[in-house]
Structure 1
Amino acid sequence: MKVIAVIPARYASTRFPAKLMQELGGKTIIRRTYEATVETGLFDDVFVVTDSPLIYDEIQSHGGKVVRSVKEHESGSDRIAEAIAEIEADIVINVQGDEPFVNQDNLEKLIEIFKADQEKQVDLASLMTPIDDWERIENPNNVKVVVDEHQMALYFSRSVIPYPRDKETKVQYYQHIGVYAFRREALLEFTTWPMKFLEATEKLEQLRYLEYGKRIKMAITKHTGVGIDTPEDLAYAKTLLTGE
């Protein structure tokens, strides 16, 4: 089973333009993410995929592997699918380019799902974390997921799911962490499917997989990552790096 990591890296960002080229501990964020992913030793190959000549040159000039994206894409799945169309792999893991503190334990959990799936019943794997704070549960920016007894995803929503009709019922809510591992075939199929009602309504691309009958297995984690979306996030990341 060949497992690769793909790091999508767009230059444009609404909240923090050119964030991936910002300096963090003497290296750009995207270079630090790439090197940290390679250093896990979990992957047969690691690639950055980018639409930016600056990011392309940054990775290539430091000996990394990078693929130039030539099309405009509406979703992360489409962008990764273009990159891996000519790359041999069985499992493709999407590593976020703006999370330089790569969590090896999370990546291992995703890989283990496919190693254990001898009958190839799982098409995608992803992560979820328990949440108990009601404000976080109600926040539509926090995507919730419900699963069956085998931790297969039943639905993802920005709404409160399940809805606690009986307030005395003890419910464990889970927030979806948007890190994915794909079977290569499922990822390439995604690009051929038109968007359906649920994805269009919730604006969640993972619902397209469910609407077309793909099976997503979830793993529980308490490591939610340190994403860099604002200058304040970058300042915090620098304190984590230096310990100050």
Structure 2
Amino acid sequence: MSILVLIPARMASTRLPGKPLADIAGSPMIVHVARRAAEAGLGRVVVATDTPAVAEAVRAHGFEAVMTRADHESGSDRIFEALGAVDPGGKVETIVNVQGDLPTIDPAIIGAALRPFAEPSVDIATLGVEIADAAEKTNPNVVKIVGSPLSTTRLRALYFTRATAPWGEGPLYHHVGLYAYRRAALERFVALKPSPLEQRERLEQLRALEAGMRIDAEIVSSLPLGVDTPQDLERARQILST
């Protein structure tokens, strides 16, 4: 299948403004993400941004960038615009959305997100990691996947929540916000209006589930560091400077 990796990057982060261009070991953060996406070896990698300085930095390091509108409410809306710009002929079958704030992500888990597509009925694929830290189980900033096990490494997602769920004995899974879409699924998803549960939990993926779309999650062992705060940025600098 023809695969396009898109990396949305916006400068207007509320907790860490300007983070795509934050220096980490001599390169902007967004460039580190692009490098890891390229190392996954899936196909063409493009950064989608609303900021000329980000596009310039990406191109200066040998990667491709496309400009998108500044008024998008979500990364999925941004990558859909970018898809139309870089593939107007509709040749790309699968789109992988790698968040632009994952500079330490293991390239292997980017490819792992495609494994659920072995099942033809899967519309959207994503990733999860079993929670080992007890504090994360009750942390509302850690999104949990509630799913039906299909194998030791895969869940069919039934719900995503900031609460501690499911109840009872058994593992809990931390959702990793990296998505793979079949092209038709992405087109359908961005055409949907925000759903009630999406708005309540502030989790965009619930819109797809409420519309009857199927999301499967591949369970991996590596949890990438998401850079949302100055403290996260310092951790990323320590990791990538060694």
Structure 2 length-normalised TM: 0.90
Q: How does 1:15-164 map to 2 (within 5 A)?
A: 15-43=15-43, 45-86=44-85, 87=87, 88-114=91-117, 116-117=118-119, 120-150=120-150, 151-164=155-168
Deviation at 1:30, TM superposition (A): 1.1
Residues 65-115 of structure 1: CA distance to partner in whole angstroms, max 9, x if unpaired? 11111251222211111111242311111112121223122112112222x
Residues 107-140 of structure 1: CA distance to partner in whole angstroms, max 9, x if unpaired? 12112222x23xx211011111112544321222
**Residues in 1 aligned to 2:4 and 2:212: alpha-carbon distance in whole angstroms:** 24
Residues 197-240 of structure 1: CA distance to partner in whole angstroms, max 9, x if unpaired? 11121111100000111100111112111222223222222222
| AA in 2 matched with 1:202 | E
Deviation at 1:195, TM superposition (A): 1.5
CA contact (8 A) 2:128 2:220 kept: yes
CA contact (8 A) 2:37 2:110 kept: no
Helix, strand or coil: the match of 2:82?
helix
CA change 1:239–1:71 in 2 (3 A) is: closer
CA contact (8 A) 2:40 2:108 kept: no
**Percent of aligned positions that are identical:** 39
**Residues in 2 aligned to 1:37 and 1:78: alpha-carbon distance in whole angstroms:** 20
Structure 1 length-normalised TM: 0.89
Q: Which moved more, 1:205-214 or 1:85-94?
A: 85-94
**Residues in 2 aligned to 1:152 and 1:9: alpha-carbon distance in whole angstroms:** 29
What is the root-mean-square deviation in Å for CA atoms of aligned residues?
1.6
**Residues in 1 aligned to 2:53 and 2:237: alpha-carbon distance in whole angstroms:** 22
Deviation at 1:153, TM superposition (A): 0.5
Whether 1:232 and 2:231 are equivalent positions in the alignment is yes
| AA in 2 matched with 1:216 | I
